[in-house]
A and B are shown apart, each in its own frame.
Chain A
């Protein structure tokens, strides 16, 4: 840990418990605002849409998918940072992972929840959405096992389950640590959450084994989830969607936007939860390097996508390409290129990577660009399909934009609740990186002196 000052084991406990217990008025105001926005911008328009039908959104005949699906891919993509990155870094023994992985994994969890909600918003009859899940029923009907959408349901459910278990299991020792230092209802809650953790050698051994096992399990899962999401598009015969590059394209895009998301979240955690000593320039530097590599891969894949379209020499593909680069949505396309391919080149400079505010701005810009990318995948391809008679431009309606804003507020609300329940910096793993403290003076009985901290 490269803090400005040395931190000790006791400091870690104190700081993390403080982040859970001490709540300022600023927190409540932020939580209140985001919860209100969620209600007003997400749930009200959604109820209206449930009542009126999908017609409340701006979709039309050829472009039957719109921002709801784009948001769905976006949130799934954002979820890819956390658990995947955490697993990879855990397996490669990266020390710098330890201060940031908890909040990154929480991001995974909550963006997956928001993505699942977006599916409900997207479908025409959400009250029947459980039909896409294979369960025994009196109709003796199964879902269509050939359908990429059905693969999607399976993949996302598995990923959600896997990453919830992963984040929970990694937090058990921390729940126990917090349990021992809190009182009142919090104490009771952490007693339940810590599952009777005592910190014996056997327990640590089993936790380490299970944690690595889950990490190995989750990496292929995370890669497969976004590949499957890409098949929703790539398995169609729509020009510009029917491409083999789509699976790696989506996976790279997902990790890219997710890593940018982590930078954003880390900035705010550092600033407002007083984790300056734990989340340091080192983290931003390393994440910046990762972002740079990802942006280069992403740019390459985009170039390949354009090249294959041009090389196919079919009029449909060429038209789709022309429409993307110079058509109705072209300003959005060039905005995406600016934010996701050109601007991240600034990360070459170490000075940029280690300055916090520019990194925050860049990370937000990348995510705006990545949302645009998802929107363009849906909008440009569907509005220009085979038959020119049915070409029609699609513009999102007010309800759609409101739900987009609301889904962001929902994510923030969930995250704000999370930071008060979960220790958002891993206590025990941060301690592993610190120098061991001097052994405490022993009492006569050979038991360390214990002082209550209430």
Chain B
């Protein structure tokens, strides 16, 4: 029965390609809410790095902000007994991402680095991925955006400018990851810890954000993930996110 065994093995291989069990790199980010000051430097850095359009006053009023990374603010209590909590929200690069199953044209898929990739050229704009995403981190180009001179001079040449009718979202600065992987390949080694940082991590003044490969147990991010404060946002939805939050510890016991 070697034919059947062979067939079953091939079938298994087809059903579960290797990287579904283990990614080449499992890029992960931890966000320490205890350190986050809500300064929004990450938001600005992201905007500059990834050619994210400024939607302007009208777009903002229509609720069409484009911020791949946003700081959600939650107020607790009534003035003057008021507390403010921040939570930076970006694409969680879920390993069981609802957005990937729903795209009819596979414009969003999981790559071998455990990233949730978005192919702008393939997107037909059904916007179903944005509906399926429980974190609301997918942003749609409701119209063509343009950069007034001289702002167009500062567009990042490594990142495409998206046209109307296309969905976009955080890529974990895939252009930087690609570059780091290329360099590492030339030097015939793996990408080391700290070789690559997305724009938001690089910018965070409080060092609340840590980025790295969780396949490497020695990396800073793996150690940070083991913190007892670690949790996933909306864990009950079972999306297996790659972004880990470290809970804020309440110090004022009064």
**Chain A residue at minimal CB-CB distance from B65:** A61
**A61 with B136: CB separation less than 8 A:** yes
Residues from chain A with Cβ under 8 Å of B122 in the complex: 131, 141
Chain A nearest CB, measured from B239 CB (Å): 8
Cβ of A21 under 8 Å from chain B: no
Residues from chain A with Cβ under 8 Å of B239 in the complex: 237
**A53 with B143: CB separation less than 8 A:** yes
Cβ of B234 under 8 Å from chain A: yes
**A235 with B101: CB separation less than 8 A:** yes
**Chain A residue at minimal CB-CB distance from B108:** A144
Cβ of A125 under 8 Å from chain B: yes
Stretch at the interface among B27-35, B124-132, B173-181, B193-201: B124-132
Cβ of A392 under 8 Å from chain B: yes
Residues from chain A with Cβ under 8 Å of B144 in the complex: 53
Residues from chain A with Cβ under 8 Å of B141 in the complex: 53, 124
**Chain A residue at minimal CB-CB distance from B126:** A123
Complex CA distance for A55 and B98, rounded to whole angstroms: 25
For the complex, would chain A's binding face be called helix, strand, loop or mixed by DSSP majority? loop
Chain B nearest CB, measured from A311 CB (Å): 17
**B105 with A144: CB separation less than 8 A:** yes
Residues from chain B with Cβ under 8 Å of A390 in the complex: 72, 136
Residues from chain A with Cβ under 8 Å of B237 in the complex: 237, 386
**Chain B residue at minimal CB-CB distance from A314:** B236
Complex CA distance for A65 and B140, rounded to whole angstroms: 11
**B124 with A147: CB separation less than 8 A:** no
**B102 with A148: CB separation less than 8 A:** yes
**B165 with A387: CB separation less than 8 A:** no
**B104 with A144: CB separation less than 8 A:** yes
Complex CA distance for A50 and B63, rounded to whole angstroms: 20
B 151-188 binary contact with A (CB < 8 Å = 1; else 0) = 00000000000001111000000000000000000000
Residues from chain B with Cβ under 8 Å of A237 in the complex: 98, 132, 134, 237, 239
Residues from chain B with Cβ under 8 Å of A146 in the complex: 101
Given contacts A54-B165, A55-B143, contact A386 B104 (CB under 8 A): no
Given contacts A59-B142, A62-B136, contact A129 B124 (CB under 8 A): yes
Cβ of B46 under 8 Å from chain A: no
Cβ of B103 under 8 Å from chain A: yes
Cβ of B89 under 8 Å from chain A: yes
- CB neighbors of B among A36-82 (8 A): 52-55, 58-62, 64-65
Complex CA distance for A236 and B134, rounded to whole angstroms: 9
**Chain A residue at minimal CB-CB distance from B121:** A128
Residues from chain A with Cβ under 8 Å of B73 in the complex: 389
**A125 with B104: CB separation less than 8 A:** no
**A124 with B89: CB separation less than 8 A:** no
**Chain B residue at minimal CB-CB distance from A57:** B142
Complex CA distance for A148 and B105, rounded to whole angstroms: 11
Residues from chain B with Cβ under 8 Å of A153 in the complex: 104
Chain B nearest CB, measured from A146 CB (Å): 5
**Chain A residue at minimal CB-CB distance from B237:** A237
Give how many B residues have a beta carbon under 8 Å from the other chain's beta carbons: 44
Chain B nearest CB, measured from A69 CB (Å): 9
Given contacts A54-B140, A54-B142, contact A389 B131 (CB under 8 A): no
**B165 with A235: CB separation less than 8 A:** no
**B64 with A144: CB separation less than 8 A:** no
Cβ of A382 under 8 Å from chain B: yes
Given contacts A60-B62, A237-B237, A387-B89, contact A132 B124 (CB under 8 A): yes
Complex CA distance for A235 and B126, rounded to whole angstroms: 15
Complex CA distance for A409 and B170, rounded to whole angstroms: 42
Residues from chain B with Cβ under 8 Å of A150 in the complex: 104
Residues from chain A with Cβ under 8 Å of B136 in the complex: 61-62, 385-387, 390
Cβ of A238 under 8 Å from chain B: yes
Cβ of B135 under 8 Å from chain A: yes
- CB neighbors of A among B42-100 (8 A): 59, 62-65, 70, 72-74, 89, 98
Complex CA distance for A159 and B211, rounded to whole angstroms: 50
**Which of A53, A58, A382, A392 lies in contact with B131, CB distance below 8 A?**
A382
**A238 with B124: CB separation less than 8 A:** no
Residue from B63, B65, B70 whose CB has the most chain A CB atoms within 10 Å: B63
Complex CA distance for A160 and B234, rounded to whole angstroms: 41
**B164 with A53: CB separation less than 8 A:** yes
Complex CA distance for A125 and B132, rounded to whole angstroms: 19
Cβ of B191 under 8 Å from chain A: no
Residue from A64, A126, A149, A236 whose CB has the most chain B CB atoms within 10 Å: A64
Given contacts A60-B64, A147-B102, A148-B102, contact A238 B142 (CB under 8 A): no
**A124 with B101: CB separation less than 8 A:** no
Cβ of B25 under 8 Å from chain A: no
**B126 with A143: CB separation less than 8 A:** no
**B234 with A386: CB separation less than 8 A:** yes
A 115-152 binary contact with B (CB < 8 Å = 1; else 0) = 00000001111101101100000000111101111101
**Which of A54, A125, A149, A389 lies in contact with B128, CB distance below 8 A?**
A149
Chain B nearest CB, measured from A47 CB (Å): 14
**Which of B63, B126, B134 lies in contact with A386, CB distance below 8 A?**
B134
**Chain A residue at minimal CB-CB distance from B66:** A61
Knowing that A59-B140, A64-B130, A124-B166 touch, tell me 14 more A-B residue pairs with CB under 8 angstroms. Answer: A53-B142, A55-B164, A61-B136, A65-B128, A123-B126, A131-B124, A141-B122, A144-B103, A147-B128, A236-B102, A237-B132, A386-B237, A387-B135, A389-B72
Chain B positions near chain A (C-beta within 8 angstroms): 59, 62-65, 70, 72-74, 89, 98, 101-106, 122-128, 130-132, 134-136, 139-144, 164-167, 234, 236-237, 239
Those 8 A-B pairs whose CB atoms lie nearest each other, nearest first = A124-B125, A124-B165, A55-B142, A60-B63, A53-B164, A53-B143, A389-B72, A55-B143
Can you list 28 pairs linking A and B with CB atoms under 8 Å apart?
A53-B143, A55-B59, A55-B143, A61-B63, A64-B131, A123-B124, A123-B165, A124-B125, A124-B166, A125-B165, A141-B106, A144-B101, A146-B101, A149-B102, A149-B126, A235-B101, A235-B102, A236-B102, A237-B132, A237-B134, A237-B237, A237-B239, A238-B132, A238-B134, A386-B136, A386-B234, A389-B89, A390-B136
